[in-house]
A and B are shown apart, each in its own frame.
Chain A
Amino acid sequence: MDALFHAAPYIGYVYPNETVVPWGILIVVYPYLTGLVAGAFVVSAFYHVFGLEQFRPVARFALLTALALMVFVPLPLLLHLGRPERAFNAMLTPHWTSAFAAFSYAASFYVFILMLEIWFAFRADVVRYAQAALGPRRAFYYALALGSLDVSENALRHDRAWAHGLAIVGVAAAMLLHGYVGFVFGSLKSREWWGSDLMPVIFLLSAAVSGIALLIVLYVIACGVRRETPDDGALQGLTRALWGFLIAVVVMEVLEFVTLLYKSREGIETVMELLAGPIRTTLLLQAIGSAIPLAVLTALVASGTRGRRLVLWLSACSVLIVLAVFAMRWNVVIGGQELSKTMKGLVTYQLPFWGREGLLAVSLILAAPLALLAVLVRLFPPWETRAGSV
């Protein structure tokens, strides 16, 4: 007998409609991308807001990274909608009791702030390129300068003041945007695995961790491509930041899990089955990808490692963390749906390869920001640290 509908395998008792998993891997990617954005922005804020000079070499690169990622944040959401052509209904008639209603506004506001800040941070360079370039490139840069070609010391001071102010607003916006993504899940009482008060906090902290880690990896790669040694001070600063945020997120995650276990409400056996069953591999990845970096980073911070050795160990940790945070998003989004609302059964999400909710589509969505970043870095090299650039 052929199955009429390809439903998820299950064990125990689940509600009949639950055999179709509503949110697939696209909704794993969405909070993952937003988290990376928030994390990358935090790094730029270390310099632009908190004035920590050692982050200067990566501050502008972090801004471009945040923008390249943010541009693609709405894509997984749009692809997931049953009626994507109606997506703007959420902006036209937002239903304010919904955590989703504010998303389009919050995200648009954030993109606006981000682009404005980037404009101020890069304006002097853009003017310089406009004057040096020829042909279409010249027109392109002139257009981007928006007629504001003044690069006097006074004007640059103005740029810095604006970038500073926008970064302050931007940090708040980035934190809000991601804390709110945690609320999307944490506010649902229907799912035991989601409905936790710690969820927004965990999302926020893991966002910072993943964004900083990705930035480290990208920065090291970019330095490799440019045949330059990564800045020691910047890497040491990033090591400490990553370490600090990682401790915070691991503590929160362990607290949440221990609380769930200690309370042992009805259905805890099924929760344990979920951990041992459908999300076992990703949970292991999350645990290993947090524990090993935590140990290594502690050693790096304690020993004050620098140079080539720091680059190697820090990059390895960062790669692990980037994977671990993706696993964490998976465990929350997919795991939450695999645990039945009956608390007496489990379904197992099966990741398709083809189709708009498939592995291929998601790989492309994840690769797209990196491609865009490569273009952005060529158009607006963020590396100059000479006096004058912000």
Chain B
Amino acid sequence: MGYRVNQPEPGRRRFLRLGARVALLGVAAFGLARGFVRRATAAVRPASAPADYDWTKHRWGFGVDATRCIGCLRCVEACKIENGVARDAHHFRTWVERYVHLKGERRARIDSHYDPQNIAASGSEREYRFDNRYRDAPVEQAFFVPKLCNQCEHPPCVQVCPVGATYRTPDGVVLIDHNYCIGCQYCVQACPYGVRMFNHEHGVTDKCTWCYHRITRGMQPACVEVCPVNARIFGDLNDADSPISKFIRQNRVQVLKPEMGTGPSVYYAGIDKEVL
């Protein structure tokens, strides 16, 4: 057979040089392709907003007045219906927590919708209700705290997304491109507030958008719309007369876990140290 066993050195060097050229070409082609993809994705606007909506003209803000909330959970129901969230006790874009200080106890007792007693009270995981377990208990203080996405100024969930499928809009809402999300759930891990969850049906992450499809059409988020006691306040921070601007002016508000450095945009009034 005519195989060259003692081929002179330059043969291999030539091969290596060829390899280097091929590699360079590959890198160049890749760079070009990436440029195209970048340009293609740069023009994307969230499909949920109307075409004439200008997201540079607003700065949305959300307030929660815990002193008003009565724990009726219409907000949770409305959100699940409006946004097609799984109707079970483990997936929520918004939820409500109950804090109860009992006489003689140092820490508050906290519960929410996945609690078996609450599920039993409503009769189904599809319905949401707080049971009456404290009816005969020595309650010193009790209050409800609605929770939802804080639409952080420095969102850790956006920071960790490996493909850039989740992003913060100029009007201050963190959205997910469900057609681009790979479903790694790194963002679920990164959110200090536990507001992100997995959509098992579509294999992507889901979260509260403050009903971006509604607010960009001049409507209120569904949870705000249905709240019978105005415990949820929404509006444009650019407008000094908006409900949210007034709420922040007229109350001493706080945000959740400020030490995280996330800069939350949901302002709370009437919560205490036990709230996490």
> Is B46 an interface position by the 8 A CB rule?
no
Which of B34, B186, B189, B191 neighbours the largest number of chain A CB atoms within 10 Å of its CB?
B189
Which of B5, B124, B184 neighbours the largest number of chain A CB atoms within 10 Å of its CB?
B184
Chain B, 31-55, CB within 8 A of any chain A CB: 33-34, 37-38, 41
Chain A minimum-CB-distance residue to B3 = A149
Q: Which residues of A contact B203 (CB under 8 A)?
A: 81-83
Q: Which residues of A contact B158 (CB under 8 A)?
A: 97
Asked whether A188 lies within 8 Å of B11 as measured between CB atoms, the reply is no
**CB < 8 Å A-B pair total:** 194
Please give the distance in Å from A65's CB to the nearest CB on chain B.
26
- Cα A3 to Cα B41 with chains together (Å): 41
Q: Which residues of B contact A150 (CB under 8 A)?
A: 4-9, 11-12
Asked whether B182 lies within 8 Å of A16 as measured between CB atoms, the reply is no
Q: Which residues of B contact A15 (CB under 8 A)?
A: 95, 112, 147, 193-195
Determine chain B's interface SS by DSSP, over half rule. loop
Q: A154-B9, A155-B12 are in contact. Are A7 and B114 (CB under 8 A)?
A: yes
Q: A86-B163, A101-B162, A190-B260 are in contact. Are A4 and B194 (CB under 8 A)?
A: no
Asked whether B163 lies within 8 Å of A16 as measured between CB atoms, the reply is no
Please give the distance in Å from A181's CB to the nearest CB on chain B.
13
Chain B, 147-163, CB within 8 A of any chain A CB: 147, 156, 158-163
> Is A80 an interface position by the 8 A CB rule?
yes
- Cα A174 to Cα B34 with chains together (Å): 26
Q: A16-B114, A150-B9, A155-B9 are in contact. Are A189 and B192 (CB under 8 A)?
A: yes
Interface string of B161-185 (1 = CB under 8 A from A): 1111100000000000000111111
- Cα A82 to Cα B196 with chains together (Å): 15
Q: Which residues of A contact B3 (CB under 8 A)?
A: 130-131, 142, 149
Please give the distance in Å from A84's CB to the nearest CB on chain B.
8
- Cα A35 to Cα B41 with chains together (Å): 35
Q: Which residues of B contact A299 (CB under 8 A)?
A: none
Please give the distance in Å from B81's CB to the nearest CB on chain A.
16
Chain A minimum-CB-distance residue to B97 = A13
> Is B110 an interface position by the 8 A CB rule?
yes
Chain A, 150-175, CB within 8 A of any chain B CB: 150-152, 154-155, 158
Asked whether A92 lies within 8 Å of B33 as measured between CB atoms, the reply is yes
> Is A240 an interface position by the 8 A CB rule?
no
> Is B252 an interface position by the 8 A CB rule?
no
Asked whether A17 lies within 8 Å of B90 as measured between CB atoms, the reply is yes
> Is B111 an interface position by the 8 A CB rule?
yes
Q: A4-B125, A343-B276 are in contact. Are A16 and B12 (CB under 8 A)?
A: no
- Cα A344 to Cα B114 with chains together (Å): 16
Q: Which residues of B contact A20 (CB under 8 A)?
A: 90-91, 197-198
Q: Which residues of A contact B156 (CB under 8 A)?
A: 188-190
Which of B163, B188, B202 neighbours the largest number of chain A CB atoms within 10 Å of its CB?
B163
> Is B246 an interface position by the 8 A CB rule?
no
> Is B120 an interface position by the 8 A CB rule?
yes
- Cα A16 to Cα B97 with chains together (Å): 9
Assuming A82-B202, A90-B182, what are 20 further A-B pairs, CB within 8 angstroms?
A5-B88, A16-B89, A16-B113, A17-B197, A19-B89, A22-B188, A81-B183, A82-B183, A82-B199, A82-B205, A83-B181, A83-B203, A84-B182, A86-B180, A86-B183, A97-B159, A98-B161, A147-B15, A150-B7, A150-B11
Interface, chain A (partner B; CB < 8 A) = 1, 3-5, 7, 10, 13-20, 22-23, 77, 80-84, 86-87, 89-90, 92-95, 97-101, 103, 127, 130-131, 142, 146-152, 154-155, 158, 184, 188-191, 337, 340-344
- 28 contacting pairs across A/B (C-beta < 8 A): A4-B125, A5-B91, A13-B112, A16-B112, A19-B89, A22-B189, A83-B203, A86-B180, A86-B182, A89-B182, A92-B33, A93-B37, A95-B161, A95-B162, A98-B162, A98-B186, A100-B160, A131-B5, A142-B3, A148-B7, A148-B12, A149-B3, A149-B7, A150-B8, A151-B6, A190-B260, A341-B193, A344-B276
